[in-house]
Amino acid sequence: MRPNKIATWELRLSEFRVLYDIDEQIMIVDIQRIGEKQRNAFLFRGKQEDV
């Protein structure tokens, strides 16, 4: 995954993307965004967002 300004990690689930951070010290996964990926566009709540 290339770096983005929202989260450190990205999980791909079909056309959906989950952007998240991990805090290994306290063992927490912090989900930042769940959105839809359409070609090169990331849609969050139906609106395009830059990642």
* Domain regions of the chain by residue span: 9-44
- Which pLDDT band holds residue 51 (cuts at 50, 70, 90)? confident
- In the numeric block, the tokens 């990331």 are attached to 42
On whether the CB atoms of residues 7 and 21 are closer than 8 A, the answer is yes
CA distances from 5 to 14, 26, 33, 48 (A): 22, 22, 12, 15
d(CA 25, CA 49): 30
Diameter of the chain measured on Cα atoms: 35
Q: What is the pLDDT of residues 22-38, one digit of tens each?
A: 999 999 999 999 999 98
> How far apart are the C-alpha atoms of 44 and 33, rounded to whole Å?
7
> Token pair 């929202």 is at which residue?
6
Residue 2 pLDDT more than 70?
Answer: no
- Band (pLDDT 50/70/90 cuts) for residue 1 is low
Model pTM score: 0.80
